[in-house]
Amino acid sequence: METIMETTVVIAGGGPAGAMLGLLLARAGIDLVLLEKHADFFRDFRGDTIHPSTIQVLDELDLLDDFNAIPHREFASFGLYTGEEVVPLADFRGLPGRFRRLAMVPQWDFLKLITDAAGKHPNFRMMMETRAVGVIREGDAVRGVRAESDGRVTEIRAALTVAADGRQSDLRAAVGLKPVDIGAPMDVLWFRLPRHDGHPDDVFLRPGRGTALVSINRGDYWQMAYLIPKGGYDGLRARGIDAFRTGITGLLPYLDPSGLTFDDVRLLTVIVDRLPKWHLPGLLVIGDAAHAMSPIGGVGINLAIQDAIAAANLVTGPLQRAQANRRPVLDPVPGSLLAKLRRRRWYPTAATQAVQVQIQNRIIARVLAGDADAGAILAAARRIPPPVRHLMGRAIGLGFLPEHVRSSH
């Protein structure tokens, strides 16, 4: 027997996109239910980068003090490590506005900050360990979701259903929206290594022959990303853990991977894709569900949040009016309104992916194929003039179309 709930908005997915949209709508008085299939936010490493544009948004939401209270590290640039020094590639110091640093914040702390703020509004309801398993369709329109928790199914009817359920989106599949695969030449292995006094302080990429390593300073440990050719993990495992450890120390001799096993390594299969259509009447798709980003530049969280802000700016007014006039049963939000989100966010998404693809194909693919000489790459990086470093900083730090919170509260 199914339980039936009614609300104005149901969001599937408590990642950066869903949590931020939940907060923005909650503070505008919109009734909503946020579904998250996991029991908590404390999962594998999923990216830490909070960009200056997101910090600006936190300021607009009066959450900056709470954000600053979370222990985190900040960086004014990102660069290539030569073995002796870090050559900056992207420099955030020249950004317009007050925020000129990239913050590395564990994603679970960030999501807790956002959902705690949303939870202060009585019209916000979060259901953890609850998975959206399908949509309620009436003709062309989506009228809500069917959600499953502990073997029980709840039908949650809503004027707007939001698929913010990540790059393997269940809801996107349920309505038959298919992303176009743009492709990536690499996969990424994530693992931690101990960090000691005397190690470098920054966040950087160290290119090698056939691989490259990204090191993210997390205080007493390094969060490492080891780039491999796409589909190359089985081969790497077959060569054994000692060869893998040697590959690491060959690039960064000060690291100690002696305790590392393949059980400590998580494979990220890199996907770069984009949905041609982000909506149906009554349904919006945002964040990774609409466009999985390459890890280059660490922009996935930022873009997911920008989608959430643009979506909130688009639907808040109409939903407030609908709630005021037509409670409790609301009509689905029309497709003509929802289509505007993709029109607004297509350019920053496609432009970012285009830059990522250029870097993937021109540099990363050649490094991974062993065709590029790390010394030549480092020499080229040294020749990048400061204005180009500032432009890169702007593209990464602010993105191509930074959004600002407009929804009322």
Judged by the rule CB under 6 A, the positions of this chain that interact with ligand FAD are 12-18, 35-38, 45-49, 131-132, 164-166, 170, 190, 268, 287-289, 293, 295, 298-302, 304
- Name the minimum Å distance from CB 398 to ligand FAD: 14
Q: Which is nearer to ligand FAD, 41 or 244 (CB)?
A: 41
Main-chain phi, psi angles of 7, to 5 degrees: -150, 180
Helix (H) or strand (E) run with residue 368 in it: helix 365-368
- Name the minimum Å distance from CB 114 to ligand FAD: 11
- Name the minimum Å distance from CB 275 to ligand FAD: 12
What is the length of the chain? 409
Q: Which is nearer to ligand FAD, 37 or 372 (CB)?
A: 37
- Name the minimum Å distance from CB 37 to ligand FAD: 4
Q: How far apart are CA 286 and CA 340, in angstroms?
A: 12
- The alpha carbon dihedral of 344, 348, 351, 357 has a sign of negative
Q: How far apart are CA 21 and CA 142, in angstroms?
A: 19
Q: Running DSSP on this structure, what letter comes out for residue 264?
A: G
Place of tokens 């928790």: 149
- Name the minimum Å distance from CB 145 to ligand FAD: 8
Read off the tokens for 21: 């949209």
Q: Which is nearer to ligand FAD, 85 or 128 (CB)?
A: 128
The DSSP line for 274-332 is: E-S--EETTEEE-GGGT-PPPSTTS-HHHHHHHHHHHHHHHHHHHHHHHHHHH-SS-PP
- Name the minimum Å distance from CB 169 to ligand FAD: 7
Q: Which is nearer to ligand FAD, 168 or 408 (CB)?
A: 168
Q: Which is nearer to ligand FAD, 172 or 195 (CB)?
A: 172
Q: Which is nearer to ligand FAD, 296 or 381 (CB)?
A: 296
- Compute how many other C-beta atoms are within 10 angstroms of the C-beta atom of residue 331: 12
Q: Which is nearer to ligand FAD, 272 or 384 (CB)?
A: 272
- Name the minimum Å distance from CB 146 to ligand FAD: 10
- Count CA atoms within 13 Å of residue 285 on its CB side: 28
Read off the tokens for 107: 């994603």
Q: How far apart are CA 299 and CA 290, in angstroms?
A: 14
- Name the minimum Å distance from CB 11 to ligand FAD: 9
Q: Which is nearer to ligand FAD, 14 or 247 (CB)?
A: 14
- Name the minimum Å distance from CB 138 to ligand FAD: 21
Q: Which is nearer to ligand FAD, 193 or 293 (CB)?
A: 293
Q: Which is nearer to ligand FAD, 44 or 197 (CB)?
A: 44
CA-wise closest residue to 310 among 275, 349, 271: 349
The CA dihedral of 82, 86, 91, 93, to the nearest 10 degrees, is -170
Q: How far apart are CA 200 and CA 85, in angstroms?
A: 9
- Name the minimum Å distance from CB 389 to ligand FAD: 20
Helices then strands, each counted (H, E), the chain: 12, 22
Q: Cis bond leading into 328, ω under 30°?
A: yes
Percent helix, strand and coil across the chain, each rounded to 5? 35, 25, 40
